[in-house]
Amino acid sequence: MCGSGGNSKTFLIPSNQTFLLQPLTFQGPCKSPSVQVKFDGKIVAPINKAAWSESKLFRWVSFKEIIGLTVNGSGTIHGRGSSFWKQLHFQRCNDLKIIGITSFNSPRNHISISECKRVQLTKIKLVAPEDSPNTDGINISGSSDVDVYDTFIGTGDDCVAINNGSVNINITRMNCGPGHGISVGSLGRDGEESIVENVQVTNCTFFRTDNGVRIKTWPNGKGYARNILFKDLTFRESKNPIIIDQNYVDKGRLDVEESAVAISNVTFTDIRGTSQRNEIIKIDCSEVTYCKDIVLDKIDIATVDGNKPVVECSNVYGKSINTNDANGCFED
């Protein structure tokens, strides 16, 4: 398919059939200007690591350097939770579209988008058990102009993780939960220079997620996360609805902080719903860089048990508008 030229080419996975699939890579570039994988059937992974033909590979199905790729259909991908690989990986696939597919029980990330430009993901469903570790729904890194809309993601980790090198990311009309919410980061691990900018998360609903929307960076990182908008969000019995955490560390790793990823121009607005915890907003910023131009606007989150909501902030410059208990949140 990839080697034949001419008009658009289609690779069909037929409906009403199930295929046991060992790890493989679809390697481009292709001669055709556009390629479609029509995904109407079902593929399943080997039942465990012993049945895995390539034990050193940590990706199940990869697409690399295929321009104009569309993956669509009503089919399903079943990872069978076998413990160690990433399910669908797309690398350097510009003008990529992923439409309509369903992914179950990936042992790691369901969909990874790496070094891609102009990406659309819509009408997809990604599902894993609530207690399954590291099962991100969509993991984005080194990519730009990514649109995610009209999706359902319920996993044991982030619904979407926006990582280093992500620029112009738009997420809208997503139902997220269970899981860890939508995250920018973590950024700056082991002193890495990280860049994320121009992110919009709008018109999304979070149901019983462990976190809501958050930005997380490691101490001693470099770079910046800026121009980020969280707007028109609804939380239903979520924990930790709004978080900026610049002290994101593993146990035992806390060192003296000498630098930090700079966070600026972040707005949380038109946010409502209920929280399982009293602390509805936590903004814990670095003493080195502070967080700058942070806006809390029209936030109305009640606690499930009726206790008074708590807002906790440190090292923040910004302003609060129509947000209860947040007026003392910011530095002068």
**What SS3 string covers 47-102?**
CCHHHCCCCCCCEEEEEECCCCEEEECCCEEECCCCCCCEEEEEECCCCEEEECCE
Res. 169: pLDDT tops 60:
yes
> Which residues does the annotation mark as catalytic?
180
Same domain, 118 and 163: no
Q: How confident is the model at residue 56 (pLDDT cuts 50, 70, 90)?
A: low
The model's pLDDT over 123-149, given as tens digits with 9 standing for 90+, comes to 999 998 888 888 899 999 999 999 999
Mean of pLDDT values over 312-317 = 92
Domain check: are 50 and 163 in the same one? no
Q: Are residues 99 and 178 in the same domain?
A: no
Indicate whether 190 and 284 sit together in one domain: yes
Question: Residues 211-266: pLDDT tens digits?
Answer: 999 999 999 999 999 999 999 999 999 999 999 999 887 655 556 678 999 999 99
Task: Domain of residue 168: give its range.
Answer: 158-331
Query: What pTM did the predictor assign?
Result: 0.95
Residue 262's beta-bridge partner residues?
Answer: 224
Tokens standing for 330?
């910011």
- Does 78 fall in a domain? yes
Look up residue 200 and give its two tokens: 């919009």
CA dist., res. 203 & res. 160, Å (int): 15
pLDDT band for position 332 (50/70/90)?
low
Does 170 share its domain with 56? Answer: no
Residues 77 and 211 in one domain: no
Q: Where residue 326 sits, what CATH number does that domain have?
A: 2.160.20.10
Residues 303 and 171 both lie in one domain: yes
pLDDT at 271: 97
Say yes or no to pLDDT of 286 above 90. Answer: yes
pLDDT for position 161: 97
Domain match, 114 and 226 both = no
Q: pLDDT grade, residue 45 (50/70/90)?
A: confident
Q: Are 71 and 102 in contact (CB under 8 A)?
A: no
Please indicate, yes or no, if residue 138 is contained in any of the structural domains.
Answer: no
Work out how many domains the chain is built from and give that number.
Answer: 2
Q: Would 153 be classed as within a structural domain?
A: no
Q: Report yes or no: 237 and 274 within 8 Å, Cβ to Cβ.
A: yes
- Cβ atoms of 190 and 219 within 8 Å: the answer is no
Mark whether 172 and 321 lie in a shared domain. yes
Residues 115, 220, single domain; the answer is no
